[in-house]
Structure 1
Amino acid sequence: MASQSGPLVIVGGAEDKTGECRILRRFVELGGGKHARVLVITVATKLPVEVGAEYIDVFQRIGVEDVRTFDVSHRDAANAASAIQMIEQATCIYFTGGDQLRITKLLGGTRVDAALHEAHHRGVVLGGTSAGASMMSSTMIVDGQAETNPRPSIVDMAPGMEFLDGCVIDQHFAQRGRLGRLLSAVAQYPHHLGLGIDEDTAVIVRDHVLQVIGRGAVSIVDAGKVSYSNLDRVRRDESLALCGVQLHMLPEGCGFLLRDRKPIPDFEQWLHRKELSS
């Protein structure tokens, strides 16, 4: 029997690191609790020592005894045997924030890239915040304008690390006014769902089912049933017309069926019914 892939914990950035640390605690619980072996990957940031030290302190404060950091400043390091060994020993792997293009540029196609996918497939928990969230999808947002109306030119896209298919992820969502650029992204990739994750908010994805946890909400943009779009007729700097887009606002306690494109208003009730029927 094939093993089930591990959960993805995708965080919208600015997760609580000084209070209850609910999101990070949940991440650790999924990976073994007090027996978890956490690997923090700092490749996205230009301050790996400082950021790594901060996360070591946080994870130790919430009870993790085995927490390590791993940085990659050049692609040779992403092909080293020692890097593969660290990934193979971890039960939880967490990507920090920074620049998502650094992640794909330095890890894409390397032995570390392959080892991360192998780890996920055998059940290891993968988490990421901010840039570490955006890179989870097969197509990612790398840059764009905020607080403006949808236009093709306001969002730049690139291949991601392909841990989550069928979605485009944006982070710091409500706090930085990024609905326009997410709409622009899904207008160009309507087969993808747009996930806009607020700060100190996360989605846990298991078996194509999404659960929302944290202080804010997750905005899900579904362009699958768009009845009209002028994308093929406007210049890149002109405004987009989109009719029939669905927008779901999901705070903690809600969920979403990614394959069926259906919201779950009460996740615990849905889970209970699923367990009774299995």
Structure 2
Amino acid sequence: MSDSSANGVLIPIGGNEDKGYDLEDVYALDFIEEGILQHVVKQAGGKNSKIVIIPAASSIPKEVAVNYRDAFTKLGCTNVHLLKIRERADSEKEKSIDLVKTADALMFSGGDQSKIVAKMGGSTIHKIMMDRYQKEHFVIAGTSAGAMCMSQEMITGGNNTDSFRKGTVFMDKGMGFIPSLIIDSHFIRRGRFGRLTEAVAKYPELVGVGLAEDTGLIIRNDTEFQVIGSGMAIVFDARTSTHNNQRILEEGTPMTLTDLKTHILSNGDRFEIKTRKIKVLPMNAEFV
């Protein structure tokens, strides 16, 4: 995956949904505050833009699709479509390819990020997504799992409550839309400090971003992101850490990471990915 500047826009969102693993799946629907979705619509080009919902990560894709379609309809959108990717072969179908080729924005739902990669990673529609994202003003949005899959180095799971020990985070290759970041979701509510810390200890050249619920990023050109929504974005920069013993420890051993640079950003704040510089929203500015 290329790390060169892209012309598209990524909108990863911290989510506010269950993963749909329990018995009451019917109640485990994706939901994002309308304010966040409004950013997706705006970046896509407005209410007449073609928005394609991809609930491939969810165990209840039909219910999730209806939920998102209703949400976008409330925002005045009339050109909303569903991309059904139930198995990998669906990523090679002509109908799927046509939807991705003609969409203004894609919206990945929450669920299990590994399902997204397994069903689409390296497929024809994935290649089209990457090509359009690199060359066009093409919007790729996603919540929870749909946000986490955007990374090249993707968190697939981990023990949220364990102490900072090696091996408590599990990682694999993601969709690679933004190679310079590692994204985690539901960051505050589910206490995911330890697993994102281990992720950046393992890949100190990358920036870790933990998104609270009802919080997202607008990433432009792979170079800068702006925080949107009502919650916090926690940024971890381990590049200049003075002690990181991740590589020499055995699995299960307590880790040490010193001088981990941490930023707590909120609505309107900006972060330059390559330079690691921050532009804080002035106190008298209006919220975005």
TM-score when scaled to structure 2? 0.88
Q: Which residue of 1 aligns with 2:25?
A: none
How far does the alpha carbon of each residue in 1:167-226 deviate from its partner, in whole angstroms, 9 at most, with x for none? 111000011010111101111111111010000100100021110011111000000001
CA contact (8 A) 2:15 2:32 kept: no
Uncovered stretches (5+) of structure 1, i.e. residues with no partner: 271-278
CA contact (8 A) 1:210 1:258 kept: yes
Distance 1:150 1:255, change over 3 A: same
User: Identity over the aligned pairs, expressed in percent?
Assistant: 33
CA contact (8 A) 1:11 1:128 kept: yes
- Indicate whether 1:96 and 2:98 are aligned: no
Q: RMSD across aligned C-alpha pairs, in angstroms?
A: 2.1
Q: Which residue of 2 aligns with 1:75?
A: 88
How far apart are residue 53 of structure 1 and its match?
0.7
How far does the alpha carbon of each residue in 1:221-269 deviate from its partner, in whole angstroms, 9 at most, with x for none? 0000010122233221111111111000001121100000122212799
- Indicate whether 1:240 and 2:255 are aligned: yes
Uncovered stretches (5+) of structure 2, i.e. residues with no partner: 18-29
- Indicate whether 1:60 and 2:73 are aligned: yes
| Matched position secondary structure for 1:8 | strand
Q: Which residue of 2 aligns with 1:8?
A: 10
Alignment-mate amino acid for residue 46 of structure 2: G
TM-score when scaled to structure 1? 0.91
How far does the alpha carbon of each residue in 1:84-140 deviate from its partner, in whole angstroms, 9 at most, with x for none? 111111111100001000000010111111111122221111100000000001110
Q: Which residue of 2 aligns with 1:132?
A: 146
C-alpha separation between the residues in 2 aligned to 1:67 and 1:86? 11
C-alpha separation between the residues in 2 aligned to 1:131 and 1:162? 14
Q: Which residue of 2 aligns with 1:218?
A: 233
How many matched pairs? 268
- Indicate whether 1:181 and 2:195 are aligned: yes
C-alpha separation between the residues in 1 aligned to 2:116 and 2:8? 20
Structure whose residues are more often helix by fraction: 1
- Indicate whether 1:44 and 2:57 are aligned: yes
1:204 maps to which of 183, 201, 218:
218
How far apart are residue 166 of structure 1 and its match?
1.1
Alignment-mate amino acid for residue 254 of structure 1: D
C-alpha separation between the residues in 1 aligned to 2:167 and 2:6? 39
| Matched position secondary structure for 1:152 | coil
